[in-house]
Amino acid sequence: MKHLLITTVFLMSIWMEGQAQTILRLIDRSNGTPIEQGVVYIQAPNQKGRHVFISDTNGEVHLPTTAILYIEISHINFKPKKDTVHQTSVKTVYLTPEPTTLSEVVVVGQHQPQSIKNAVFNVRAINSDRIEKLAATDVPTLLSQQLNIRMSRDNATGTSGISFQGLSGQYVKVLINGIPMEGRSGVANAIDLGQLDVNLIEKIEIVEGPMSVEYGSDALAGVINIVTKKNKKPFEATLVTQTETVGDEFDFFDKGIHSVGLLLGIAPSDKISANLSAKRYLFMGWQGESEGRTQDWYPKQQSIFNTGLQFTPTNALSIDYQLDWLHETLSNHGPVVDKNPLKDPVAIDETYTTRRQQHRLQTIINTKQIEHNTSISFSDYTRNTNQYILNLVNNDKTNTASENQEYVQLKSWFLRHYLTKNMAFGSLVIGAEGQIDHSSATTLSKGEKTMESYALYSSLEIKLNKFKFRPGIRMEKNSQFSTVPTATLNAQYKFNEKIQLRMGYGRGYRTPSIRELYHEFIDSNHNILGNPNLEPEYSNNFNTRLDYSFEKSSTHVLLAAYYNHLKNKITYFTPTAVNSPTSYINLLEYTTWGGRIEATHPIKSFKIVGGVGLLALEQKLNEFSQVPDFTFSPEINLQPSFTFQNAHLTLLLNCKYTGAVSRYQIVEEQPELGKIEGYFMGDFTLNKKIKNAITLSAGIKNLLNVSTINSSSPNGPHGGSAFSVGYGRSYFFYFKYNFSQP
């Protein structure tokens, strides 16, 4: 407001003198494109006042004078620059980009939003520009391209799982705008990241290392925060459609991937804005090696809906309400049963239906010294398994026996209030959090289960010249188990603008899942019961990261390493006493360590991002047998891109090699090594923009046509052999149309 006023006065005074102008043109040194939203401070000689201008879409700033001026230019993505303007009519200023991996602003776990470069944690981000360029249809695909992150697919349930620093999805906390996403389910006890709408994502923030002080249970390997798009324009409409083959299977109606998304936003004033988005996604399945009606990858149908309302009556208050709604159906088609000529051919099919909704209300109140941040959220998650007989003559459906119809329901209330106080030496956050979960399921013992947890936490960020320290502590009271205080300490040392070093220690924990506490599975050959006396799992994590940026070339190199030691890990246990059920027990220990080296190197229009990662695992499998040693698994990724500026065309190659993974399993009381082979995934994308309104992408996914890889898992009653990682080479076409009223 203040700047605007000054600028107006300044403009008016110049206007009186005449219409002579100086045009400043801001250009990106790396690729020659104009820079929008550059902040230009100008100051006339012998004058005290400074005035601010913002560059337009052509990168231009019209200075209403031809007098000599000092200028200072800053932009979040570029290195700051100072210069002088001498009575010229047009002046071009070249700016050197900051390495993009460092300039991204992150919010997760931060006292204030800040760039990755200044964040005390080891953070990385995937922004909407990259999501669009890759034409990703889901989050798992995006994450699988990152080092230290591996995605897997459960063939039996068709859901996606994540492994982060060698730890499975149950140790990763997933947040949407900082509020936990609920609905962990299944044996994996993980959030299904395939159930998010990519079109709505502004940015995915990934923090490596425990964030248990800020986010409590499950934030042990790390945190994934989904930041959603917020509309600021008076009116904006975006249509996104995508068509894709599934391997070599494609058909207008019955095969392939068909997806359409619509986003609408209005902001009648700068105090109020509303947004609405809807997406329909059809994955028609992949037959693969299966025959007849059966499919290796189950068809999936998703309808995702989001709506929100933001109200900012004053600078000191903002209110944000969001509703997410999802309906997903996976269909498992059984083989045709038609051997009896007297009966109609039938098939036994199963559908897995997930319904998920979450209401989130976030309020920020800014007093002079303190910012209050309150979040309330309610989520309702259900997953139903419906088994039915489909008559293939008249498409009649009849449910099979009631024991084949299953459900899981989880209702969760979440409340968090924290305040941030800025002080001379840094900032302080104090927060309180409460969560109440109600759940019931056919696989649990009878009755509704309730779990309550309340926590107090605090963290202090201290700046001392080039040092930044951040100690934190959390105390939690849980209705089911006792917990001990959780502490973290993170530090950053900024040698200079080029080199930063981070080191951190964190303690993480995971409270036992409802399933582990109350599971009930009894039939003729199984007798599994949950254990209500379980205790939380704990971990100690050490991590470090070194960043180096080359001044001129915008080249950036980072080295990161981590060590996780997990204790009290929950596992199945069968006592030797008479007819005792198998249950769960805190028994195992698990160690992972690893690291990555990553480099970004732009050469004019050509940019290459590449890295190497390493994962090491050590398991203590039971009290008697310690497995011999660590097993290692390497990773390599390479993401070269080339941009034709004039044609607004980008070519992008995106490759990752995931090395073989070996894991020990107990077979006949002896550890035995099982191995999953390594594989290569590569995508090629061609991306073209037409007049900022239209984006077209086309390309090839899974260039090397990978589908199943071999796995030698030790023999057991349910030992497996092949492991499905992809469905072969496929082709896609992506179309986006954006209309906005500025």
Partner 1 sequence: MNFKKTLLICLMAWTVVPLACKDDVVLAPITINFTNPASGLSSSDKENDITLTLSRPASGNGSIVLGLSSLNLNYGANQDFFTNPDMKNDQIILPFSEGDESIGFTMSVGTNLNIQKEATVTINILKVTENFQAGTQNQHTVSFSENFVSDAGIIELSAGGSGFTHQAFVDISKNNQTQIANNAWDLGFYSGSDGNYITLNSGGFVMSRPINKTDLAAVGATDTIGFAAAMTIPQYDPSVGAAAWVDAPNGDLSNTAMHSFENGQVYIVRRVGENRNWKKIQITTSADGYVLKSADISSNEIRTVSITKDPAYNFLFADLDNGLIGVEPQKEKWDLMYGTYTEVLNFGGSIPYGYKDYLIINRYNTKVAEVLIADIPFQSFSKEHLTNTTWNNDTNAIGSKWRNGGGPGSEPSLKEDRYYVIEDAAGLYYKIQFTRLTSTSGERGYPEFKYEKISE
Pick the binder of partner 1 from 368, 446, 552, 718 (CB under 8 A): 718
| CA dist., res. 600 & res. 554, Å (int) | 8
For partner 1, the closer of residues 145 and 185 by Cβ is: 185
- Total of chain residues touching partner 1, rule CB under 8 A: 53
- What is the pattern of x (binds partner 1, CB under 8 A) and - over residues 143-182? -------------xx-------------------------
Q: 115 is written with which tokens?
A: 């760039």
Pick the binder of partner 1 from 361, 389, 638, 722 (CB under 8 A): 389
- Identify whether the C-beta of residue 238 lies closer than 8 Å to the C-beta of residue 263: yes
Q: Give one DSSP letter per residue of 108-157, joined into a string.
A: TT-SS-EETTT-SSEEEEEEHHHHHHHT-SSHHHHHHTSTTEEEEEETTT
- Identify whether the C-beta of residue 149 lies closer than 8 Å to the C-beta of residue 164: yes
344 binds partner 1 (CB under 8 A): yes
Burial code (b: 16+ CB inside 10 Å, e: under 16) for 174-194 equals: bbbbbbbbbbbbbebbbbbbb
By CB under 8 A, the residues from 561 to 600 that bind partner 1 are 574, 576-579
Burial code (b: 16+ CB inside 10 Å, e: under 16) for 452-486 equals: ebebebbbbbebeeeebbbbbbbebebebbebeeb
For partner 1, the closer of residues 269 and 524 by Cβ is: 524
Stretch that binds partner 1, among 2-10, 85-93, 338-346, 592-600 (CB under 8 A): 338-346
Pick the binder of partner 1 from 96, 400, 458, 645 (CB under 8 A): 400
For partner 1, the closer of residues 122 and 259 by Cβ is: 259
Pick the binder of partner 1 from 11, 44, 239, 473 (CB under 8 A): 239
313 binds partner 1 (CB under 8 A): no
692 binds partner 1 (CB under 8 A): no
Pick the binder of partner 1 from 340, 465, 646, 721 (CB under 8 A): 340
DSSP H or E stretch at residue 493:
strand 486-494
For partner 1, the closer of residues 88 and 574 by Cβ is: 574
Q: Give one DSSP letter per residue of 66-82, joined into a string.
A: -S-EEEEEEETTEEEEE
Pick the binder of partner 1 from 94, 481, 493, 735 (CB under 8 A): 735
Pick the binder of partner 1 from 314, 446, 552, 717 (CB under 8 A): 717
Query: Minimal CA–CA distance to 131: which of 227, 37, 243, 247?
Result: 227
Stretch that binds partner 1, among 211-219, 252-260, 455-463, 646-654 (CB under 8 A): 252-260
- Identify whether the C-beta of residue 592 lies closer than 8 Å to the C-beta of residue 617: yes
647 binds partner 1 (CB under 8 A): no
For partner 1, the closer of residues 103 and 353 by Cβ is: 353
241 binds partner 1 (CB under 8 A): yes
Strands (E), 397-466: 397-399, 406-423, 426-441, 449-464
| Smallest separation (angstroms) from partner 1 to the CB of 78 | 34
Pick the binder of partner 1 from 280, 327, 421, 567 (CB under 8 A): 280
For partner 1, the closer of residues 45 and 341 by Cβ is: 341
524 binds partner 1 (CB under 8 A): yes
SS3 195: helix
- What is the pattern of x (binds partner 1, CB under 8 A) and - over residues 653-672? --------------xx----
Pick the binder of partner 1 from 475, 499, 694, 704 (CB under 8 A): 694
| CA dist., res. 676 & res. 721, Å (int) | 9
Pick the binder of partner 1 from 89, 403, 465, 552 (CB under 8 A): 403
Q: List Cα–Cα distances, 189 to 156, 169, 186, 386, 408, in angstroms.
A: 15, 7, 5, 20, 12
* Angle of CA points 303, 307, 311, to nearest 5°: 170
User: Using CA of residue 133, residue 134, residue 138, residue 142, what is the dihedral sign?
Assistant: negative
Torsion (CA) 332, 334, 335, 341 in degrees, nearest 10? -140
SS3 4: helix
253 binds partner 1 (CB under 8 A): yes
| Smallest separation (angstroms) from partner 1 to the CB of 394 | 5
| CA dist., res. 536 & res. 712, Å (int) | 32
Tokens 């890759």, located at residue: 134
- Identify whether the C-beta of residue 657 lies closer than 8 Å to the C-beta of residue 636: yes
| CA dist., res. 712 & res. 153, Å (int) | 17
| Smallest separation (angstroms) from partner 1 to the CB of 202 | 24
Stretch that binds partner 1, among 68-76, 92-100, 128-136, 332-340 (CB under 8 A): 332-340
Stretch that binds partner 1, among 19-27, 78-86, 142-150, 342-350 (CB under 8 A): 342-350
DSSP H or E stretch at residue 264:
strand 257-269
Stretch that binds partner 1, among 113-121, 317-325, 341-349, 484-492 (CB under 8 A): 341-349
For partner 1, the closer of residues 156 and 317 by Cβ is: 156
What are the backbone angles phi and psi of residue 276, rounded to the nearest 5°? -150, 135
Where along the sequence are the contacts to partner 1 (CB under 8 A)? 156-157, 187, 239, 241-243, 252-253, 258-260, 280, 282, 334-335, 337, 339-344, 346, 348, 387-389, 391, 393-396, 398, 400-401, 403-404, 524-525, 574, 576-579, 667-668, 694, 717-718, 733, 735, 737
